[in-house]
Amino acid sequence: MQESEGRIKATLREVFLLLTSTLVILSPIVVSPALPDMGEFFSSIPNAETLVKLVITIPALSIAIAAPFVGLVIDKWGRRKLLIGATALYGVSGTVGFFLSDIYAILVCRAFLGLAVAGIMTCTTTLIADYYTGTKRNRVMGFQVATTYFGGVVFLIVGGALAEINWNYPFLIYVLAFVFLPGVILFLYEPEIVRQSTEKQELEKEQRFPYLSVIIGYVVMFIFMIMYYAIPTQIPFYLTNTITDLNEIQIGIALSAATLFAGIISFSYKYLKKWLSHEILFILSFLLIGSGYIILKYAIKYWVFLVGLALSGLGVGNMVPNINIWTVKDTPERYRGRALSMLTSILFLGAFLSPIVNSPIIEGIGYSNIFLIGGIVFFVLILVPLALYYVEHLKKRKTIS
């Protein structure tokens, strides 16, 4: 009986850990289908289009600033309490956007939403690394990304449908945080790792932080996010400029294509990792995303856009769990929260800077060419894991000889 109850609790723990992770992708994308209508509503304000795009990306700036501090806090005082507080803050700061009609007030609330996401993303990913090891960890990391992206598909379509009513209705979806919160409180526990003995801490001090591999991962993630975040921030405008008579639901479906295929490939990550190295998986990701971007550059029909977005999604669904595992695989337990929080910070700093970097380029050469540049960048990024794979291969040969 007790064993059965233990299995049920373990299953519910994993379920609520994965469900809470979906709030991360919900934070930026759910209002994305409403951007064109929001731009019209605030059109009388100077720089309205840029301000509206910041509704998507301002949470990313807050996350980038807060995440390193979150890592320090959870490594010192624990994960669970911070996750509970962050989930509650998320629900309040996200939902309140429905009631506001001032773009600057909305941006302030979005900044607080970013603080909440920093806590949720760092805590959930770190808890997965704490609760599980080996193949089980690979599986749950893959499921985390898959659940997040499948949730994103639903959120985008629902967000598009709500945006048909009015631009502010998609903000109501953030109430989901309050639905997940009881499960977080009841089923997630504080892992023993944060209450380890002083003796164990002294032994771990001898373990070195893997600076080289982690920093390479950070740099790759930063460039990746600068270019990839062109999809949620630029695609709604690109589609409406390229194809006439598109509605918000069709824009939501287009954006969800990338998210859907990201979820599909993430479920397969555990199996891919059995046969392929981290470096090969990175190469595969960049090849898929780059190919998708080249298709977006030349697409003139709606279904061709969907193909390009689907290919990009396949690459992203493989990339995210791979870089999470890459970051923690050689990182001592006492540094795990900080390593993952810095990855979160870099990821969202790139997301925030994406429209700032891309918008002037778009003004100069047009929407389609930003995807051509992005495709070239992703193809060039293939050289990084290719070089790492070559170095690793040389090391193995030397060991054998």
Q: Where are the domains of the chain?
A: 2-191+207-400
SS3 117: helix
What percent of the chain shows pLDDT beyond 70?
91
Q: Can you read off the two tokens belonging to residue 28?
A: 């930026």
Residue 107 φ then ψ, to 5°: -65, -35
Q: What is the distance between the alpha carbons of residues 26 and 36, in angstroms, rounded to a whole number? A: 19
Q: Which residue has the tokens 């309040």?
A: 92
Mean pLDDT of the region 197-206: 51
State the distance between the two ends of the chain, measured CA to CA, in whole angstroms.
55
> ∠ CA(140), CA(30), CA(163), 5° rounding?
150
Q: What is the distance between the alpha carbons of residues 30 and 59, in angstroms, rounded to a whole number? A: 13
Contact indicator for 102, 110 with CB cutoff of 8 Å = no
pLDDT digits (tens, 9 = 90+) for 224-278: 888 887 887 778 778 877 876 777 778 778 877 887 888 788 878 878 888 888 8
Q: Which residue has the tokens 């049920």?
A: 8
- The mean pLDDT of the chain is 83
The closest alpha carbon to 326, from 89, 129, 66, 83, belongs to 129
Residue 282 or 268, more confident: 282
Q: Which amino acid is at 292?
A: G
pLDDT digits (tens, 9 = 90+) for 318-350: 888 888 888 877 777 777 777 878 887 888 788
Mean pLDDT of the region 285-297: 93
Whole-model pTM?
Answer: 0.72
Q: Kindly tell me if the per-residue pLDDT of 195 is higher than 50.
A: no
Contact indicator for 321, 145 with CB cutoff of 8 Å = yes
Q: Which amino acid is at 72?
A: L
Report how far apart, in Å, the C-alpha atoms of 390 and of each of 48, 286, 324, 349 are. Answer: 48, 17, 22, 30
Q: Which residue has the tokens 């944060």?
A: 194
Contact indicator for 79, 130 with CB cutoff of 8 Å = yes
Contact indicator for 39, 129 with CB cutoff of 8 Å = no
Q: Which residue has the tokens 């985390």?
A: 144
Report how far apart, in Å, the C-alpha atoms of 286 and of each of 194, 205, 279, 364 are. Answer: 36, 36, 11, 26
Question: CATH for 2-191+207-400?
Answer: 1.20.1250.20
Contact indicator for 188, 127 with CB cutoff of 8 Å = yes
The closest alpha carbon to 53, from 232, 309, 224, belongs to 232
> ∠ CA(264), CA(327), CA(385), 5° rounding?
75
